[in-house]
Amino acid sequence: MVRKDPLTNEINGSIGLSLDNFEVEMNSLLAQLNIDTATWALSIYEKELGIRTDLNKPLDERRSVIKSKIRGTGKIGAAQIKIVADAYSNGDVEVTLEHGIRIEFTSTYGIPPNVDDLKRMVREIAPAHLSINYVFRFYTYGEMTATVMTYGQIKATGLTYKEIKNKGLM
């Protein structure tokens, strides 16, 4: 009898929709608690950390700034600067503290897209009296000729000079 009651069925349907929506909202909230999956909460992290929000930046670059800011607290040494720099690169970074700070990108070609954020963060955490030098790796003519590709084969890849210099021949 109760199963056929329209009011009871309407209430049960509403509760079911609310529970379905609750699960979606809960999953969304849980995603915001992890910087790697956060989207709309990035602006909250940025505000808490004193980072200027730039909605024109891709989410991964904003996440890198947040991670770097979190990692960049405490006593500053080569290891700490490396942790911060690693947040901005997609490869290996070596940091040395001889004659200032030297940050070398050793396993990727070109300049990372958010290197300006990295520079700001390192300048913020590094002792003011130390100079900071960045060393980038570019695809060299010697590496290109070692591939034994002819000019025609290289041209056929469709890559521009800038793409080859920054990423190599793929």
Phi first, then psi, for residue 138 (nearest 5°) are -120, 155
How confident is the model at residue 114, as a pLDDT? Answer: 84
Q: Over the stretch 14-32, which tens digit does the pLDDT of each residue have? A: 666 565 666 777 777 788 8
- Give the span between the Cα atoms of 112 and 68, in whole angstroms: 15
User: Per residue in 60-72, pLDDT tens?
Assistant: 889 988 887 777 6
Confidence of residue 99 (pLDDT cuts 50, 70, 90): confident
Helix then strand then coil, % of the chain, to nearest 5: 55, 10, 35
φ and ψ at 137, to 5 degrees?
-105, 130
Which pair of tokens denotes residue 79?
Answer: 């290891």
- Kindly state the percentage of the chain with pLDDT values over 90: 11
User: Mind listing the domains of the chain with CATH numbers?
Assistant: 6-73 (no CATH), 78-136 (3.30.70.2210), 139-169 (no CATH)
For residue 81, give both structure tokens: 């600067």
pLDDT higher than threshold 60 for residue 2: no
Of residues 167 and 31, more confidently modeled: 31
Q: Are 101 and 131 in contact (CB under 8 A)?
A: yes
Query: Which residues pair with residue 95 across a beta bridge?
Result: 103
> Could you tell me the pTM of the whole model?
0.55
> Quick one: residue 116, left, alpha or beta (phi over 0 = left, psi -120 to 50 = alpha)?
alpha
